[in-house]
Amino acid sequence: MKKANLEVRGMYCAHCSKAVENALGQAGLLSHVDLAHNRVEFTYDEEKISLEYLRRLVKRAGYELVIDERKSFDRNKVLVPVALLVLLFSLLGIVHHVLQPFQVEIPFFFFFGNDVTFLVLATISILVLGIPFFVRAVKGLRYKNIGMDFLISLSSLASYALSLYLFVTNVQRGIDPLALHAHHMDGYRMTYFDGTCMILSIITLGHLLTDRIKLKADKNYQKAAIEPPKDSTLVYPDGTTETLDSDRLDVGDTIRVLAGDVLPCDGHVVKGRGHIDESSLTGESRPRLVQVGDKVLGGTYLQDGPIEMEVEKIALESLYSSIQNESYALDQRKGKLSKLSDTIAAYFTPSVLLIALLSFLVCLFAMKLDVEESIVRACSVLSVSCPCAFGLAVPISSMSGYDCALRHGVLFKSGDTFEKIRRIQCAVFDKTGTLSTGRMHVEGFCGRKDLLPVVKAMEKNSLHPIALSLIQWLQEEKEEEIEAVQEIPGEGLRSGPYVLGNRRSVQGKSLSAELERFEEEKKDTSLVYLSDEREVLLILSLVDELSQDSVDTIQELKRRGIHVYMVTGDRREYALQIAKRLHIDEENVLSEATPQSKASLLREIRKKEGVLCYVGDGINDTLALKEADLSFASYKANAIACSSADGLLLRPELSALLAALDISKKTYVNIIENFVWAILYNVAMIPLAVLGLLPMYLCAALMIASNLTLTINSLRVRSYRPERKEKRR
Ligand code: ADP
Ligand code: MG
């Protein structure tokens, strides 16, 4: 199977993306269209389906799948000059028409005042510019997907047919269509060829302009441009190495990465130190210093090194791949607004058709206008209405919000995140690895020093921040042969007679006077106990490292009226100590929680506080991540936490969450703006067209202006910069 991500030309709103998805669906492919970047992504079996076949399927639906930039025929090369020429001539025709009553005679102007010129122009428009619209409209009909293309086709064809009929009757009445002032002659009936020309040329040009704007915005933003390497250097425990296909790396493998290499997958450093450039993933341009125990991500690149890293996620499941795939999810889990816009878009076009029909009947029978005028007004209604607005408002805005968030270190996994995050009333944080950096310092220990190798050997089997910190601390220590290790989330580890974990895990075991004293003395720290079947043998005391960024983020959240809670599996005394440093209120600290109780605690908090957001990192957080209304996996999070969360923080700084809040608010407001615009525009313009106050050419111009406004407004979100509170202070 092979993944393709290709450009598609000719798409403008949700109707188009659906048409392309339908076309690829004929080949049995599930595809995802990204309307904001004009791209489609799908996985296909190279041996069964050729890209050329897919290109033809898409072409038959009226769009262009670009397989090879150089080979693909750019139909814009034909459309642009024709559209420009038609537009220019039509405009001159209109000027001529306006100047007529003043008897202004300009040489060659007669050329634009006669019907034959416009008959030719309109015919060219229909044949060259119109056909792409007609093809898409007819294809759309087959899938009951009628949108703007259908309305444009109907109005341009109707005005053309009407004009043709009038042209023929004029000739039958003996009026020479080439005559200089034919329209002053008795019995002359005005034709509407210029309307056909204007509709098709303006809308074609408008679409191309929209494409340009999107492309330009795209250039400023390059999505994860670095490809992870195909080969990796595997390091065996005895120090020998082997080159291996990156796809064959397994969790737990140790690989060597040299300076200048791109990391093949996610993991943590086990040897060496270096600077990692993560800009391809998170947009952060400052390189980050990583050393033993630090998490590193695939798709980023090592500036200096070398380092050795242990693989935590295979390449396919690494963050890099999920970012590449995540835009799928974004569309699949649609929010309320997205569903609303889909519904409106689905009913809008049929409604416009009905309004056009009604306005024709009203003009004809109630207002006693002649048939021609009634048809022209109905055509105006068809061309001024802007169904795209509804199909365009949500997808482009939310994709732009997604891009913007990614650039600020947050990956939104589902489309409704924007709508939910802005309603958040309280934020609950896990302590270790989320509020704290996850790097813990060993303050001291008491008991059997000779068992430290056992501690090291056991912790080698865990990815818990405590484990990574202890391994780093015990770097020089030798390792003991031990029995198989079992990890109990939120408690610790077991191996044969040994238990290594929190107080709960060693409950009922006896404690010597010396250890009891140490426990009392260090009660303001995080304690890890090692016991055998009978007694506690060793206690280690650790303290979390807190970053100023966490302190600032909590403060800012509180300033915004969001209540902040902390839940942890750690001891109460120590949890309170940390909470004090973070300015979290004592009553909002929930300690000694098990993974199960974390979820039930969240339910209680939600009853009291309302919409709740949870940020956590470990396997002990999965239930809580699922329970929360909205959940984020922190930077240190493991694979399971990442898959349970609605979003991922891609940077160590917790302040990414603030950026996420700002960006989703901005995106939401943007979507609402688009909606309001779309409604106001249609509500204002359609009646004007019914009343005959909008000539047909103006209708087309207004419609395309509305579309452009919406696209530009939606793309604005992409370059939005969330406020950086800490800088202001
Ligand atoms: P938090 O909720 O703060 O992230 P956890 O629920 O992951 O903490 O863990 C709760 C407690 O269980 C830790 O404070 C620690 O004492 C103990 N623990 C968990 N995993 C381990 C481990 N691998 N080694 C030692 N102790 C552990
Ligand atoms: Mg944790």
Q: CA-CA distance, 661 to 77, in Å (whole number)?
A: 43
Q: Could you say which ligand is closest to the alpha carbon of residue 464?
A: 1
Q: Which ligand is nearest to the CA of 538?
A: 1
Helices within 263-384 (DSSP H only): 279-282, 319-332, 336-361, 371-384
> What number does the ligand 1 atom closest to the CA of 528 have?
16
Determine the distance separating the centroid of ligand 2 and the alpha carbon of 433, expressed in angstroms.
5
Q: 567 and 600 in contact (C-beta within 8 Å)?
A: no
Whose C-alpha lies nearest to ligand 1, atom 8? 569
Q: Over the range 109-120, which residues count as b (16 or more CB within 10 Å of their CB) and which as e?
A: bbebbbbebbbe
Q: Which ligand is located closest to the Cα atom of residue 485?
A: 1
pLDDT for the residue numbered 222: 47
Nearest CA to ligand 1 atom 12: 491
Q: Which residues, including other chains, have CB under 8 Å from residue 400's CB and lie 6 or more apart? A: 36, 667, 670, 714, 715, 716, 717, 718
Least confident of 430-439, 620-629, 631-640: 631-640
Report how far ligand 2's centroid is from the alpha carbon of 529 (Å).
Answer: 18
Is residue 45 within 8 Å of residue 28, measured between CB atoms?
A: no
- Residues 40 and 270: their CA atoms lie apart, in Å, by 39
Q: Which atom of ligand 1 is nearest to the CA of 462?
A: 23
Q: Residues with beta carbon < 5 A to ion ligand 2?
A: 430, 432-433, 617-618
pTM of the prediction? 0.76
Q: Which atom of ligand 1 is nearest to the CA of 619?
A: 7
Q: What is the rounded distance in angstroms from the CA atom of residue 64 to the CA atom of residue 220?
A: 24
Find the ligand nearest to 638 CA: 2
Residues 6+ away with beta carbon under 8 Å from 197:
86, 87, 89, 90, 118, 121, 122, 125
Question: Cα(592) to centroid of ligand 1, in Å?
Answer: 10
Do 94 and 696 form a contact (C-beta atoms < 8 A)? no
User: What is the rounded CA–CA span in Å between residue 97 and residue 76?
Assistant: 31
> Cα separation of 390 and 104, whole Å?
45
Examine the pLDDT at 225 and tell me if it is beyond 50. no
CA 550/CA 560 separation, integer angstroms = 15
Give distance in angstroms: CA of 638 to centre of ligand 2.
Answer: 10
What does the alpha-carbon distance between residue 604 and residue 215 come to, in Å, rounded to a whole number?
Answer: 48
In angstroms, how far is the first alpha carbon of the chain from the final one? 52
Query: Which token pair is 291?
Result: 């050393």
Residues at CB less than 6 angstroms from ligand 1? 430-433, 459, 462, 464, 466-467, 490-493, 500-502, 526, 528, 568-570, 618, 620
Q: How far apart are CA 417 and CA 628, in angstroms?
A: 12
Percent of the chain at pLDDT exceeding 90: 23
Distance CA 579, CA 558 (A): 14
Instruction: Determine the average pLDDT of the residues in 47-74.
Output: 83
Mean pLDDT of 364-385: 87
Per the prediction, the chain carries an average pLDDT of 84
Q: Sheet harboring 526-531: ordered strands across?
A: 436-447, 536-546, 526-531, 498-501, 492-495, 485-488
Taking CA atoms only, the protein residue closest to ligand 1 atom 20 is 492
How many residues in total does the chain contain?
Answer: 729
Ligand nearest the Cα atom of residue 572:
1
Answer whether residue 659 shows pLDDT above 60.
yes
Q: What is the pLDDT of residues 232-273, one digit of tens each?
A: 889 998 888 888 888 888 888 999 988 878 888 888 898 888
The yes-or-no verdict on residue 387 having pLDDT over 80 is: no
Report the atom number in ligand 1 closest to the C-alpha of 490: 6
pLDDT value for 310: 92
Measure Cα distances from 600 to 490, 495, 566, 567, 617 in Å: 15, 30, 14, 11, 18
The pLDDT value given to residue 433: 82
* 31-34 β-sheet, strand order: 31-34, 39-44, 2-9, 64-66
Give how far Cα 604 sits from Cα of 141, 277, 565, 571, 683, Å: 51, 42, 12, 20, 46
pLDDT at 726: 45
For ligand 1, atom 9, name the residue with the nearest CA.
490
Of the chain, the percentage scoring pLDDT greater than 70 comes to: 90
Query: How close is the Cα of 554 to the center of ligand 1, in Å?
Result: 23
Residue identified by tokens 């991540």 is 625
Query: How far does residue 159's CA lie from ligand 2's centre (Å)?
Result: 67
Q: CA-to-CA distance for 261 and 234, rounded, in angstroms?
A: 14
Residue 598 Cα: closest atom of ligand 1: 2
Whole-number Å distance, alpha carbon 574 to ligand 2 midpoint, is: 15
Two tokens at 320? Answer: 């890099």
For residues 217-225, give the mean pLDDT.
52
Give the Cα separation of 130 and 121 in Å (integer).
Answer: 12
Does residue 230 register a pLDDT over 80? no
Ligand at minimal distance from the CA of 544 is: 1
41: pLDDT strictly greater than 60:
yes
Residue 354: CA count within 13 A, CB half-sphere: 5
Given this model, what pLDDT does residue 283 score? Answer: 60
Query: Closest ligand 1 atom to the C-alpha of 595?
Result: 6
Task: Tell me which residue has its CA closest to atom 14 in ligand 1.
Answer: 570
Which residue has its alpha carbon closest to ligand 1 atom 13?
A: 570
Specify the pLDDT at position 164: 92
Q: Can you give the three-state secondary structure of 559-606, one letter per residue? A: HCCCEEEEECCCCHHHHHHHHHHHCCCHHHEECCCCHHHHHHHHHHHH
Ligand number nearest CA of 618 is 2
Q: How much is the pLDDT for 349? A: 81
Give the 3-state DSSP-derived string for 38-107, with helices as H, strands as E and coil as C.
CEEEEEECCCCCCHHHHHHHHHHCCCEEECCCCCCCCCHHHHHHHHHHHHHHHHHHHHHHHHHHHCCCCC
Q: Which atom of ligand 1 is nearest to the CA of 434?
A: 4
Q: Which of 436, 543, 568 to mutate to test the pocket of ligand 1 (most atoms within 8 A of CB)?
A: 568
What distance in Å separates the CA atoms of residue 530 and residue 104, rounded to the nearest whole number?
A: 102
Q: How confident is the model at residue 45 (pLDDT cuts 50, 70, 90)?
A: confident
Shortest CA distance to 541 belongs to which of 552, 562, 525, 553?
525
Residue 294 pLDDT class (50, 70, 90 cuts) = confident
Res 658 pLDDT > 50: yes
> Would you state the pLDDT for residue 370?
86
Q: pLDDT tens digit string along 310-357?
A: 998 887 777 666 666 555 445 555 667 777 777 777 788 888 889 999
d(CA 245, CA 264): 10
Section 262-286 average pLDDT: 81
pLDDT at 729 over 50: no
Phi-psi region of 330 (alpha: psi -120 to 50; beta: other; left: phi over 0): alpha
Q: How far is the CA of 438 from the centre of ligand 2 (A)?
A: 8
**Residue among 398, 413, 407, 430 nearest 630 (CA):** 413
Distance in Å, CA 613 to ligand 1 centroid: 22
Distance CA 639, CA 625 (A): 13
Give distance in angstroms: CA of 466 to centre of ligand 1.
7
* C-alpha span between 370 and 354 (Å, rounded): 20
Residue 304: which pLDDT band, with cuts at 50, 70 and 90? confident
Cα separation values, 308 from 253, 288, 462, 698, Å? 10, 16, 18, 66
Atom of ligand 1 nearest to the CA of 504: 12
3-state secondary structure 178-211: CCCCHHHCCCCCCCCHHHHHHHHHHHHHHHHHHH
pLDDT top residue among 284 and 26:
26
**What CA–CA distances, in Å, run from 575 to 24, 348, 527, 544, 568?**
55, 56, 11, 10, 7
Residue nearest ligand 1's atom 7 by CA:
490
Cα(506)–Cα(513) distance, integer angstroms: 16
Which ligand ends up closest to the CA of 498?
A: 1
- Looking at residue 142, what is its pLDDT? 78
Residue with the larger pLDDT of the pair 615 and 412: 615
What's the whole-number mean pLDDT along residues 696-723? 85
Atom 2, ligand 1: which residue's CA is nearest? 568
Tens-place pLDDT, residues 642-656: 777 888 888 888 999
Taking the centre of ligand 2 as the mean of its atom positions, its distance from the CA of residue 109, in whole angstroms, is 79
CA of 639 to the centre of ligand 2 (A): 13
Per-residue pLDDT tens over the stretch 478-504:
888 888 888 888 889 999 899 999 988
**546 Cα–ligand 1 center, Å:** 17
Starting from the edge strand earliest in sequence, which strands make up the sheet with 307-311, in order?
241-245, 231-235, 254-257, 307-311, 267-271, 295-296
The CA 453 to ligand 2 mean position distance, Å, reads 25
The band of 177, judged by pLDDT with boundaries at 50, 70 and 90, is confident
Which range of 215-219, 243-247, 545-549 scores highest in mean pLDDT? It is 545-549
To test the pocket of ligand 1, the residue of 458, 466, 598 to mutate (highest count of ligand atoms within 8 Å of its CB) is 466
The pLDDT of residue 328: 45
Residue 358 has pLDDT above 50, yes or no: yes
**Minimum-distance ligand 1 atom for the alpha carbon of 567:** 2
